[in-house]
Structure 1
């Protein structure tokens, strides 16, 4: 029952952040959305911050799983793998309102919370490492490092601009296509 309850609370945290923002999300708002007692949050996560950390880890895990699901096909070429990395960052889950609002809150809070800063560092390094692996197959070492940094910035920048736009769904679709076009243009 513990994993089921934990996932309910993580989902409720995503929803609470979407409705109220991170600062106004409380143990009470989360427990009401989850339909569980507020004491269970302390029992499983030690409090709100522990649950926020677990929620961010959930977002990161979903990102990792989306990529693994796409690249587990054998014989993917470097360009195909790069396109899969882009797609993993723009999945319907990562574009959902609860996920986008939680990501935005997480990034802002990571400047003040060492644990969240560590998770952001891991996330950035993972994206860069995945991109660099594929670019190394296509470019010399210096160009590969530069391309990986540019592509990571483009993915994050386009994702952020899309999340903050008036019509995020359209913007997310266009952002994914522009990132893929950048890869194709760079390889040419």
Structure 2
């Protein structure tokens, strides 16, 4: 109806108020970005192809994100939030014991949201792009620092500070390395094997504490 304050949007068969449209469209575009990168890669992804995948116009992309780089930055922020949320869930379910908290951080990094085929291709794309795009590089550095800080805090509870920092650096590198190797070998990512290897590293670093 003309002049109506309600903009009708078909989302799960419901009518959505106009003020609720923006987050839905932003989510549509970000998910379409993931799908487009998964299917054709970032180099061939254009505003037009992403908008088409989302079933929206290119003008909507410009309105919400400015340009392709703005959309890619938003997409990376989204996958970083999903990683942060996954880690938080596992940590909340674990006891406060430092060893269990370290294992929970490992589990969050190998959560299905981070190791499914689309997520792995998107992560690899962002890692490569971050070498040339300052904003993506900044987001990647912030993610690296968060991981190191979380690991270091837990190791610090049981180890001398210098040793805790080294242990945290090593575990962060192992998590990234296991993830990268798993993403490149093809086939199903063996999350359980990766977890066992990382758990073994944690146990090795903390073995003196148990003596």
| Common fold by TM > 0.5 | yes
Partner of 2:121: 101
What displacement does 1:21 show? Answer: 0.7
Determine the C-alpha separation between the residues in 1 that align with 2:49 and 2:94. 45
- Residue 163 of structure 1 pairs with residue 180 of structure 2: no
Aligned to 2:166: 146
In the alignment, which residue of structure 2 is the partner of 1:69? 89
Taking the aligned partners of 2:50 and 2:111, their CA distance within structure 1 comes to 25
Deviation digits for residues 53-103 of structure 1 (CA, Å, limit 9, x no counterpart): 000000111111111122235851101100010011011110122211111
Higher radius of gyration, 1 or 2? 2
Give the match for residue 133 of structure 1.
153
Once residues 94 and 39 of structure 2 are traced to their aligned partners in structure 1, the CA distance between those partners, rounded to angstroms, is 41
Does residue 118 of the first structure (1) align with residue 106 of the second (2)?
no
* Shift in CA distance, 41/119, structure 1 to aligned 2, threshold 3 Å: same
SS, match of residue 189 in structure 2: helix
Tell me which residue corresponds to 2:11: none
Which residue in 2 is equivalent to 1:182?
A: 201
SS in 1 for 2:186: coil
Match of 2:58 in 1: 38
Query: Partners of 1:55 and 1:5 in 2: how far apart?
Result: 13
In structure 2, C-alpha distance between the alignment counterparts of 1:110 and 1:177, rounded to whole Å: 30
Alpha carbons of 1:92 and 1:115: their partners in 2 closer, same or farther (altered >3 Å)? same
Give the match for residue 20 of structure 1. Answer: 40
- The offset of 1:19, in angstroms, is 0.4
Structure 1 stretches of 4+ with a deviation exceeding 6 A read none
30-39 vs 14-23, greater mean Cα deviation: 30-39
Q: Does 1:80 align with 2:97?
A: no
Match of 2:109 in 1: 89
Q: Unaligned regions of 5+ residues in structure 1, if any? A: none
The structure with the greater share of residues assigned to helix is 1
**Aligned mates of 2:94, 2:199 — CA distance in 1:** 21
Q: Distance in 2 between matches of 1:151 and 1:144?
A: 10
Q: CA deviation at 1:168?
A: 3.6
TM-score w.r.t. length of structure 2: 0.85
User: 3-state SS of the aligned residue for 1:166?
Assistant: coil
The whole-number CA distance in structure 1 between the counterparts of 2:52 and 2:94 is 45
The TM-score with structure 1 as length reference comes to: 0.95
Moved more, 67-76 or 43-52: 67-76
Which string of whole-angstrom CA distances, capped at 9 and with x for unpartnered residues, describes residues 97-145 of structure 1?
2211111111111111110110011011000000000000111111100
Paired positions, count: 187
Given that 2:35 and 2:118 are in contact with CA atoms closer than 8 Å, whether structure 1 keeps it comes out as yes
